[in-house]
Amino acid sequence: MNFAFTDEQAMIAETAKAFFDENATSERTRAAMDQDGVDRTLWQSFCQELGLAGIALPEAHGGSGLGLVEFAILAEAAGAQVAALPMLGSLAMTAHAIARGGSNEQKAAWLPKLATGEAIGATGLDGRVTATGDRLSGTVDFVAHGASADVFLIGSGTDAWLVARDATGLTVAACTTMDQTRPFARLTLADTPAQPLGDATAALRAAQEGGWICVAAEALGGAQATLDRTVGYAQERVQFGRQIGSFQAYKHRLADMMVEIEQARSAVYWAACAVDEGSDEAPVALHSAKSFAADTYFRCAGDMIQLHGGIGFTWEHDAHLFFKRARAIQSMLGTSAWHREQIARLIGLGDAA
């Protein structure tokens, strides 16, 4: 029992932080926002030069064979910069699902490409699709970075398929999305060829777990960044003849942010660790992490706007990037209320009335 990073984990954290701080600049992120929300140069560097994209994928398929703790470290660092990258759809969900529930062919076909960034994956788990043999028809909404993807993991009920971007009958419509760093797409499938996952249950569970951990860790990183940046502003900005950080109401709000963020930190790494260790606590931990970290991020990003005053609600300032990412994380992959309802069941409260 030791709830601190190993030396290796600490090193990964340091590397990732340095990489995103240097490269995932506001300027580059905004350039990506005007396109499809993917900073492709950044993604290539991350996957190939840094070689960290496959960190939680099996070594046999181009990964490093580490776990969700290490993956969370990366997502936290990327989230701190609101980096415009397909980390969620491509790695946390699609690749993770294939690694855990794909056939050997599927693994061999996709994992090395996803790990190198040669291909981008995207996932939609709330598909309203019907299958006729190996062909799908229907729609899938809110597919994050869907317009940038080469392969889709589609879930519908307890079934899961892979669909290639160039499959016949597939239409991908990009949506103008509030969080421009991770725009949604709507997929329309008309008798589109699809490959069922080898073990759909394992794949879907892996996609959920990976997705929850990814956005919770992003939220943690983002929330910490809103605090750090606001503390910096509080020390610089002078109003009423004083540093604004000397006003007690301002200080207390920052302290409250920190109280929440430290809990979110415990939640994220508890959940990642519990999944990696196969602990019985994993389900409660995952629901805790997703709901708590998302709510913390939203609150902190809102506070960042408030505590920056007028400049905080301008397009020019970065506060809205955090704010919109936070909102998107809150509503995707199950709302906070839904996750808490799952916990209510898990701890024996029975059904809701």
Q: What is the CA 236 to chain-centroid distance, rounded?
A: 32
- The binder of 51, among a copy of itself, other proteins, none, by C-beta within 5 to 8 A per type, is none
- The binder of 142, among a copy of itself, other proteins, none, by C-beta within 5 to 8 A per type, is other proteins
Q: Nearer Cβ to other proteins, position 114 or 300?
A: 300
Give the 3-state secondary structure of residue 151. strand
* Minimum gap (Å) between residue 252 Cβ and other proteins: 4
Question: What per-residue string of b and e applies to 269-281 under the rule 16 or more CB within 10 Å gives b?
Answer: bbbbbbbbeeeee
Sheet holding 128-132, edge to edge: 128-132, 135-144, 184-193, 170-174
Q: How far apart are CA 27 and CA 212, in angstroms?
A: 28
Q: Nearer Cβ to a copy of itself, position 1 or 249?
A: 249
Q: Nearer Cβ to a copy of itself, position 30 or 251?
A: 251
Q: How far apart are CA 248 and CA 67, in angstroms?
A: 42
Q: How far apart are CA 15 and CA 7, in angstroms?
A: 12
The site map against a copy of itself for 242-281 (x = CB under 8 A) is: -----xxx--x-----------------------------
* Minimum gap (Å) between residue 123 Cβ and other proteins: 14
* Minimum gap (Å) between residue 216 Cβ and other proteins: 12
DSSP 86-105: -IIIIIIIIIHHHHHHS-HH
Q: How far apart are CA 112 and CA 89, in angstroms?
A: 16
Q: Nearer Cβ to a copy of itself, position 5 or 247?
A: 247
* Minimum gap (Å) between residue 111 Cβ and other proteins: 25
Window 117-146: residues binding a copy of itself (CB under 8 A):
none
* Minimum gap (Å) between residue 6 Cβ and other proteins: 6
Q: Nearer Cβ to a copy of itself, position 4 or 352?
A: 352
Q: How far apart are CA 335 and CA 327, in angstroms?
A: 10
Tokens found for residue 15 = 């590397």
Please report, for residues 138, 197, 318, the alpha-carbon distance to residue 141 in angstroms, rounded to integers and kept in the order given: 10, 20, 28
Q: Does 345 help bind a copy of itself (rule: CB under 8 A)?
A: no
* Minimum gap (Å) between residue 248 Cβ and a copy of itself: 4
Q: Nearer Cβ to other proteins, position 4 or 166?
A: 4
Residues at the site binding a copy of itself, with contacts judged by CB under 8 A: 247-249, 252
